[in-house]
Structure 1
Amino acid sequence: MTYDQILDAIGTILRDKLDNHHMDRFAPQARLNEDLYLDSVLILEIMLALELDHGVALPEEVISRQDLDTVDDLARLFANASEPNGTPVKPAKDLVLARVEREAVERIGVHGEDFVDIKVHCFVSNVCHAVKQRQLDHRPFFFGVWDAGFAVDRSWRLAYHAPEINHDFFRDWFERLYGAKVRQWYQPDAAKVENLATMLELLERKKESEYLMVMLDLFHLPERENKFNQNPFPHYLMLEHTDDPAVWMVLDPDFRWEGRIEKQKVINAIMQPTVAGGFIFDAADIRKPSAVDLRDYFLACFHEDDNLLTRATREIVRAHLESRDGVKLPELSMALR
């Protein structure tokens, strides 16, 4: 296939197979993540569809390339691979397995194991973004996420957002490890309009080195992909002004996304009754953690004889097997989402 044919095929896959809602931005120079909202999984789906539906495949060593920024990059990758004297290729399923195996055995970098960008906790991801911007290693801070706060509701379901859950553990340890104080600006006892006014004032006068975090209901931001199809979807991200007073820059480290969204749409998601929370911290205060503090953090997180999440999961499974409180076994998958 020619470059133009591959470009058309990518557009067809996005529109007809992936039902992409941002095709008005589709063009060779459209950014895969920022403009078309494509993550690595969706890009891999495009690659598989190009082979299975259009007969164009990639050499094994190309599948793991990480320098694909635009539609043009992706189209040229396949165009080069489809040259008459190109390298013989393997089937897509073999490429996927090869990539997984290769990533498992070839992560050798400056720190021994290559950098892996962990994304499992939106609060932690936000503060760790600032650590990375300071060229410091954020990875030790994720050790505590395994036992991050959670709840089991009356229907025997795991919940990661509940009135009894807060981020004090991570806030305190972030300050001790990295030196920056994470201040809570959101006042739970105040009205939402009062908290919104506080946020707007902070956003207006914050320093360039400061990060403003806010919780919003991601379900009410259709511009963002709701990968887990959750409603509600409480989520922390960070905000910045742009040159357009009607548009904010949204930084979402947990989903590896940043982009411009209309201010009123963001405010609508913030004002939903399902969410409440916000913090601010200054990245200028961030420093390298000491070895002693890292040791103490490890000891504070590590439960030698117990794992809270595993124990709660086991109890949820038992509750569904025994039909406690009227719950049914077919509901188990939703309970453990």
Structure 2
Amino acid sequence: MIREEVSIKVHCIVSCLCEVIREERALLDYRPMYFGLWDAAFDVTDQGEITYYQHDLDHSHYFWSYRDLFGATVVEWYDKNKHKNENLDTLLTLLDEETPGRYVMAQIDMSYMPERENKFHQKPFPHFLILTKTEDDHKWMMLDPDFRWRGIVDKEQVVQAFVENPFGGGFYVDANELAESSVMAVDRYFQQGFTEHNELTNLLKTLIPQMVDGKNGYSLDDLTLAVRQLPVLAIRKYSYEHAMMYFIEEAGLSDETFDAYTDLVERIVQGFHSVQYMAIKMSMTGKTDLLDAVMNKLEEMDGIETAVKNELDRLYQLWTIHQQLPDTLSLAKNAKGRTL
């Protein structure tokens, strides 16, 4: 049985891909797609902003991993070498075709949808969701799996949000290709995405002192921008819960410790919020005496996340035994920095 997560917003691309399974093949277990998202790629701009999006971030590994796990090919229809209006024409054509079982995803700038939730207060706010035509030529159906929202929206408003998005992206999936993932594919995907390093926390340990001390071209004024997107990145840590429950259920293990580890995951997420608050306060007031508290919080978060990874690795090892897979080394102790 799949324990249903309650409104966990983790990663919009993966949420869209998993929604296709939820809508069309509800008995398939989509949770392996969440493996490794706790360390999903991010970028640092020239100004020192840690960002969940960037023009050169490559999401293709999610697409080929989806095919490896579930058999369905993800077709990336958005061409970054073409003008936005040309990509809009492609989107309109795909929606007009209404191919049975095909789910069309597009990235829009959610800041152009003020009536929709934007709890992160980002502008721009690039976000992937699923679009479908309706009987009304001026309205589209919008399905936003990451925010658990479905409703009718004004077509022209979405078109503007698509065209004005400074980034851009789009793909589609044909649900009739979906199949149950094999044990070997799940094992392979977990190993590909597991690393013992906590990359985001480690980056903050380095970047924040540099800005406070005015090193490497940074200044204290850069701190506010640097941590602006931390809440968006922090929610990726909830993917630990999907992975843990998957291994617990698939190996027939007791879930008596699961709630304790979800509490630890929540402490990691809230820790990023605390770091953001203290960093912005230092930047705005010029008072750097909070640096020690920031560094102590990051050390605490690092230790908690390592404990979560060790428990996840333990559950994974028990799962491999249950599935009678070949012996594997402990990933938490022997991972070589692999990440997705």
What TM bracket, shorter-length normalisation? 0.5 to 0.7
Q: Check the 8 A contact 2:11/2:37 in 1, yes or no.
A: yes
Q: Which residue of 1 aligns with 2:174?
A: 282
Matches within 5 A, 1:43-192: 110=1, 114-117=3-6, 118-133=8-23, 134-135=25-26, 136-192=28-84
Q: Name which of 183, 198, 205 aligns with 2:90.
A: 198
Once the two structures are TM-superposed, the CA of residue 322 in structure 1 deviates from its matched residue by: 2.4
Larger radius of gyration, structure 1 or 2? 1
Once the two structures are TM-superposed, the CA of residue 307 in structure 1 deviates from its matched residue by: 2.9
Once the two structures are TM-superposed, the CA of residue 310 in structure 1 deviates from its matched residue by: 2.8
Q: Name which of 130, 141, 163 aligns with 1:249.
A: 141
Gap runs ≥5 in structure 1: 1-109
Once the two structures are TM-superposed, the CA of residue 262 in structure 1 deviates from its matched residue by: 0.8
TM-score, normalising length: structure 2: 0.63
Partner Cα distance (2:143, 2:52) in 1: 21
2:86 matches 1:216: no
**Alpha-carbon displacement from aligned partner over 1:27-57 (angstroms, at most 9, x marks no partner):** xxxxxxxxxxxxxxxxxxxxxxxxxxxxxxx
Gap runs ≥5 in structure 2: 232-340
**Alpha-carbon displacement from aligned partner over 1:223-275 (angstroms, at most 9, x marks no partner):** 21211111100000110011111100001000100110111000000001413
Q: Percentage identity across aligned positions?
A: 36
Q: Which residue of 2 aligns with 1:313?
A: 204
Q: Check the 8 A contact 2:211/2:219 in 1, yes or no.
A: yes
Partner Cα distance (1:119, 1:229) in 2: 15
User: For this pair of structures, how many residues does the alignment match?
Assistant: 225
Once the two structures are TM-superposed, the CA of residue 144 in structure 1 deviates from its matched residue by: 1.9
Once the two structures are TM-superposed, the CA of residue 169 in structure 1 deviates from its matched residue by: 1.2
- Secondary structure of the structure 1 residue equivalent to 2:140: strand
Q: Check the 8 A contact 1:240/1:248 in 2, yes or no.
A: yes
- Secondary structure of the structure 1 residue equivalent to 2:54: coil
Once the two structures are TM-superposed, the CA of residue 315 in structure 1 deviates from its matched residue by: 2.3
> Between Structure 1 and Structure 2, which shows a larger proportion of helix residues?
2
Summarize the Cα distance change of 1:198–1:335 in structure 2 as closer, same or farther, 3 Å threshold. closer
The structure with higher relative contact order (CA 8 Å, sep 6+) is: 2
**Alpha-carbon displacement from aligned partner over 1:97-148 (angstroms, at most 9, x marks no partner):** xxxxxxxxxxxxx35xx32243210000000111222111111211121121
**Alpha-carbon displacement from aligned partner over 1:193-242 (angstroms, at most 9, x marks no partner):** 11111110111113231110001100011221211111100000110011
Partner Cα distance (1:336, 1:223) in 2: 23
Task: Return structure 1 stretches of 4+ with deviation > 6 angstroms.
Answer: none
Summarize the Cα distance change of 1:161–1:333 in structure 2 as closer, same or farther, 3 Å threshold. closer
Q: Which residue of 2 aligns with 1:234?
A: 126
Partner Cα distance (1:269, 1:293) in 2: 37
Backbone CA RMSD of aligned residues: 1.7
Partner Cα distance (1:238, 1:273) in 2: 16
Q: Check the 8 A contact 2:111/2:123 in 1, yes or no.
A: yes
Q: Which residue of 2 aligns with 1:291?
A: 183
Summarize the Cα distance change of 1:273–1:225 in structure 2 as closer, same or farther, 3 Å threshold. closer
Q: Check the 8 A contact 1:152/1:312 in 2, yes or no.
A: no
TM-score, normalising length: structure 1: 0.63
